[in-house]
Amino acid sequence: MAFTLPDLPYDYDALEVSIDARTMEIHHTKHHNAYITNLNNAIADTELADKSLDELITNAGSLSPAVRNNGGGHWNHTFFWNVMTGNSMGTPTGALAEEINSTFGDFESMKTQFNTAGATQFGSGWAWLTVSADGKLEISSTPNQDNPLMDCVKTKGTPILGLDVWEHAYYLRYQNLRPAYMQAWWDVVNWDKVSELYAAAK
Ligand code: MN3
Protein backbone atom coordinates (compact mmCIF):
# COMPACT_ATOMS: atom_id res chain seq x y z
CA MET A 1 0.00 0.00 0.00
CA ALA A 2 1.55 3.24 -1.15
CA PHE A 3 1.73 6.18 1.24
CA THR A 4 -0.36 9.25 0.39
CA LEU A 5 -0.19 12.92 1.30
CA PRO A 6 -2.46 13.70 4.28
CA ASP A 7 -4.55 16.86 4.27
CA LEU A 8 -3.50 19.63 6.63
CA PRO A 9 -5.80 19.96 9.67
CA TYR A 10 -6.29 23.68 8.75
CA ASP A 11 -6.08 26.06 5.77
CA TYR A 12 -2.72 27.21 4.37
CA ASP A 13 -3.26 30.70 5.79
CA ALA A 14 -4.24 29.50 9.29
CA LEU A 15 -0.76 29.99 10.75
CA GLU A 16 -0.16 33.35 9.03
CA VAL A 17 0.78 35.02 12.33
CA SER A 18 3.97 32.91 12.27
CA ILE A 19 4.19 31.12 8.91
CA ASP A 20 2.93 32.59 5.63
CA ALA A 21 0.40 30.72 3.48
CA ARG A 22 2.71 30.43 0.46
CA THR A 23 5.37 28.69 2.56
CA MET A 24 2.75 26.34 4.01
CA GLU A 25 1.42 25.47 0.57
CA ILE A 26 4.83 24.79 -0.97
CA HIS A 27 5.98 22.92 2.12
CA HIS A 28 2.94 20.64 2.05
CA THR A 29 2.30 20.10 -1.67
CA LYS A 30 5.92 20.08 -2.86
CA HIS A 31 8.31 19.14 -0.06
CA HIS A 32 6.16 16.76 1.98
CA ASN A 33 4.70 15.28 -1.18
CA ALA A 34 8.18 14.66 -2.61
CA TYR A 35 9.22 12.67 0.46
CA ILE A 36 6.15 10.47 0.00
CA THR A 37 6.77 9.94 -3.72
CA ASN A 38 10.41 9.10 -3.11
CA LEU A 39 9.54 6.79 -0.19
CA ASN A 40 7.01 4.92 -2.32
CA ASN A 41 9.58 4.56 -5.10
CA ALA A 42 12.22 3.30 -2.65
CA ILE A 43 10.02 0.56 -1.16
CA ALA A 44 8.04 -0.48 -4.27
CA ASP A 45 8.45 -4.18 -5.09
CA THR A 46 10.63 -4.79 -2.01
CA GLU A 47 9.94 -6.60 1.27
CA LEU A 48 9.38 -3.17 2.83
CA ALA A 49 6.36 -2.40 0.66
CA ASP A 50 3.85 -3.68 3.24
CA LYS A 51 5.52 -2.20 6.35
CA SER A 52 3.87 0.58 8.32
CA LEU A 53 5.59 3.97 8.51
CA ASP A 54 6.34 3.39 12.21
CA GLU A 55 7.98 0.04 11.41
CA LEU A 56 10.18 1.72 8.80
CA ILE A 57 11.12 4.59 11.12
CA THR A 58 12.02 2.49 14.15
CA ASN A 59 14.31 0.33 12.01
CA ALA A 60 15.76 3.23 10.01
CA GLY A 61 19.36 2.46 11.00
CA SER A 62 19.40 -0.74 8.99
CA LEU A 63 17.51 0.61 5.96
CA SER A 64 18.78 2.46 2.88
CA PRO A 65 19.41 6.22 3.00
CA ALA A 66 16.44 6.67 0.63
CA VAL A 67 14.03 4.93 3.01
CA ARG A 68 15.52 6.55 6.11
CA ASN A 69 15.46 10.09 4.65
CA ASN A 70 12.12 9.96 2.87
CA GLY A 71 10.38 7.84 5.50
CA GLY A 72 11.63 10.30 8.12
CA GLY A 73 10.47 13.17 5.92
CA HIS A 74 6.96 11.74 5.68
CA TRP A 75 6.72 10.95 9.41
CA ASN A 76 8.21 14.28 10.55
CA HIS A 77 6.00 16.48 8.37
CA THR A 78 2.82 14.60 9.25
CA PHE A 79 3.72 15.10 12.91
CA PHE A 80 4.69 18.76 12.42
CA TRP A 81 1.35 19.75 10.84
CA ASN A 82 -0.49 18.27 13.79
CA VAL A 83 1.39 20.06 16.55
CA MET A 84 0.45 23.47 15.11
CA THR A 85 -2.83 25.39 15.10
CA GLY A 86 -4.15 28.83 14.25
CA ASN A 87 -5.86 28.89 17.66
CA SER A 88 -2.93 28.36 19.99
CA MET A 89 -3.52 28.93 23.70
CA GLY A 90 0.07 30.21 23.84
CA THR A 91 1.37 28.17 26.78
CA PRO A 92 1.11 24.59 28.01
CA THR A 93 -1.27 23.74 30.86
CA GLY A 94 -1.96 20.95 33.32
CA ALA A 95 0.36 17.98 33.85
CA LEU A 96 2.58 18.95 30.91
CA ALA A 97 3.10 22.49 32.26
CA GLU A 98 4.01 21.05 35.67
CA GLU A 99 6.50 18.63 34.15
CA ILE A 100 8.08 21.41 32.05
CA ASN A 101 8.49 23.54 35.17
CA SER A 102 10.01 20.72 37.21
CA THR A 103 12.38 19.65 34.39
CA PHE A 104 13.51 23.00 32.96
CA GLY A 105 12.68 25.52 35.72
CA ASP A 106 9.94 27.27 33.77
CA PHE A 107 8.35 27.49 30.32
CA GLU A 108 10.68 30.29 29.13
CA SER A 109 13.75 28.21 30.01
CA MET A 110 12.36 25.25 28.09
CA LYS A 111 11.76 27.49 25.05
CA THR A 112 15.28 28.88 25.26
CA GLN A 113 16.80 25.40 25.39
CA PHE A 114 14.62 24.21 22.50
CA ASN A 115 15.44 27.31 20.41
CA THR A 116 19.14 26.76 21.07
CA ALA A 117 18.85 23.13 19.93
CA GLY A 118 17.23 24.27 16.68
CA ALA A 119 19.55 27.23 16.11
CA THR A 120 22.69 25.15 16.63
CA GLN A 121 21.57 22.23 14.45
CA PHE A 122 24.09 22.76 11.63
CA GLY A 123 22.46 22.70 8.21
CA SER A 124 19.04 21.09 7.90
CA GLY A 125 17.21 19.24 10.63
CA TRP A 126 14.69 19.31 13.44
CA ALA A 127 14.40 20.35 17.10
CA TRP A 128 12.45 18.04 19.42
CA LEU A 129 10.80 17.81 22.80
CA THR A 130 10.56 14.12 23.69
CA VAL A 131 9.56 11.79 26.49
CA SER A 132 12.35 9.32 27.26
CA ALA A 133 11.88 5.62 27.99
CA ASP A 134 11.90 6.42 31.73
CA GLY A 135 9.32 9.20 31.34
CA LYS A 136 11.57 12.27 31.38
CA LEU A 137 11.20 15.33 29.14
CA GLU A 138 14.24 15.92 26.95
CA ILE A 139 15.24 18.39 24.23
CA SER A 140 17.35 17.33 21.27
CA SER A 141 17.95 17.98 17.60
CA THR A 142 18.43 15.65 14.66
CA PRO A 143 20.05 16.21 11.25
CA ASN A 144 18.26 15.84 7.91
CA GLN A 145 14.97 13.92 8.35
CA ASP A 146 16.06 11.79 11.30
CA ASN A 147 13.79 11.72 14.36
CA PRO A 148 13.91 10.47 17.96
CA LEU A 149 11.96 7.28 17.16
CA MET A 150 14.77 6.03 14.93
CA ASP A 151 17.06 3.33 16.28
CA CYS A 152 20.10 5.19 14.94
CA VAL A 153 19.84 8.61 16.66
CA LYS A 154 21.71 9.80 19.75
CA THR A 155 18.72 10.97 21.85
CA LYS A 156 15.87 8.50 21.49
CA GLY A 157 12.39 9.12 22.81
CA THR A 158 8.77 9.72 21.93
CA PRO A 159 8.35 13.10 20.21
CA ILE A 160 5.64 15.35 21.65
CA LEU A 161 6.75 18.55 19.88
CA GLY A 162 8.96 19.07 16.83
CA LEU A 163 10.10 21.98 14.71
CA ASP A 164 11.32 21.83 11.13
CA VAL A 165 14.41 24.05 10.85
CA TRP A 166 15.15 23.35 7.18
CA GLU A 167 15.42 26.62 5.24
CA HIS A 168 12.39 25.63 3.12
CA ALA A 169 10.27 25.96 6.28
CA TYR A 170 10.97 29.67 6.75
CA TYR A 171 13.02 31.26 3.96
CA LEU A 172 10.27 33.22 2.16
CA ARG A 173 9.36 35.31 5.19
CA TYR A 174 12.43 35.06 7.42
CA GLN A 175 15.23 34.58 4.83
CA ASN A 176 18.33 33.47 6.75
CA LEU A 177 16.92 34.37 10.19
CA ARG A 178 16.21 30.94 11.64
CA PRO A 179 16.06 32.26 15.25
CA ALA A 180 13.33 34.79 14.29
CA TYR A 181 11.27 32.00 12.72
CA MET A 182 11.73 29.82 15.79
CA GLN A 183 10.70 32.64 18.11
CA ALA A 184 7.55 33.35 16.11
CA TRP A 185 6.64 29.67 15.81
CA TRP A 186 5.74 29.34 19.50
CA ASP A 187 2.59 31.38 18.74
CA VAL A 188 1.14 28.52 16.67
CA VAL A 189 1.98 25.52 18.87
CA ASN A 190 -1.05 23.29 19.48
CA TRP A 191 -0.65 22.71 23.23
CA ASP A 192 -3.81 20.58 23.41
CA LYS A 193 -2.20 18.17 20.97
CA VAL A 194 1.18 18.28 22.73
CA SER A 195 -0.52 17.52 26.08
CA GLU A 196 -2.37 14.61 24.48
CA LEU A 197 0.92 13.22 23.09
CA TYR A 198 2.58 13.72 26.49
CA ALA A 199 -0.18 11.79 28.29
CA ALA A 200 0.04 8.97 25.74
CA ALA A 201 3.85 8.80 25.97
CA LYS A 202 3.82 8.61 29.78
MN1 MN3 B 1 10.17 20.50 5.83
* Same domain, residue pair 181 and 103: yes
- Mean pLDDT for the chain overall: 97
In a domain, 15, yes or no: no
What pLDDT is attached to residue 28? 98
Same structural domain, 182 and 107: yes
Centre of ligand 1 to C-alpha 61, Å, is: 21
Write down which residue in 50, 82, 114 finishes a domain. 82
12, part of any domain = no
pLDDT digits (tens, 9 = 90+) for 54-98: 999 999 999 999 999 999 999 999 999 999 999 999 999 999 999
Q: Which residues of the chain have pLDDT under 50?
A: none
Q: Could you tell me if 78 and 101 lie in one domain?
A: no
CA of 24 to the centre of ligand 1 (A): 10
CB 77 within 8 A of CB 180: no
In a domain, 45, yes or no: yes
- Asked, for residue 191, whether it belongs to a domain, the answer is yes
Which residue(s) pair with 140 in the sheet?
128
- Measuring CA to CA, how many Å separate 159 from each of 72, 121, 129, 156? 13, 17, 6, 9
Say which residues have a Cβ less than 8 Å from residue 3's Cβ, sequence separation at least 6.
36, 39, 40, 53, 74
Of 85, 86, 88, 80, the C-alpha closest to 164 is: 80
Final residue of a domain: which of 57, 82, 107?
82
What is the distance in A from the centroid of ligand 1 to the CA of 27? 6
Q: How many angstroms separate the alpha carbon of residue 105 from the centre of ligand 1? A: 30
Whether residue 4 lies inside any domain: the answer is no
The domain containing residue 131 runs over which residues?
A: 94-201
Q: Separation of 12 CA from ligand 1 center, angstroms?
A: 15
186 CA to middle of ligand 1, Å? 17
The verdict on 98 and 182 lying in the same domain is yes
Instruction: Give the distance (Å) from ligand 1 centre to CA of residue 8.
Output: 14
Indicate which CATH number applies to the domain containing 64: 1.10.287.990
The answer as to whether 9 is a domain residue is no
CA of 32 relative to ligand 1 center, distance in Å: 7
Distance 98 CA to ligand 1 centre (A): 30
- Report the CATH number at residue 109: 3.55.40.20
- How high is the pLDDT of residue 98? 98
Which among 59, 61, 80, 192 has a CA at the least distance from the CA of 128? 80
Q: How far is the CA of 48 from the centre of ligand 1 (A)?
A: 24
Q: Are residues 129 and 159 in the same domain?
A: yes
Whether residues 99 and 48 share a domain: the answer is no
pLDDT of residue 110: 98
- Please tell me the distance between residue 158's alpha carbon and the centre of ligand 1 in angstroms: 19
How many structural domains compose the chain? Answer: 2
Same-domain check for residues 78 and 119: no
Q: What is the pTM of this model?
A: 0.97
Q: Is residue 14 part of a domain?
A: no
Residue 66 domain flag = yes
Per-residue model confidence (pLDDT) at position 133: 96
CB 22 within 8 A of CB 172: yes
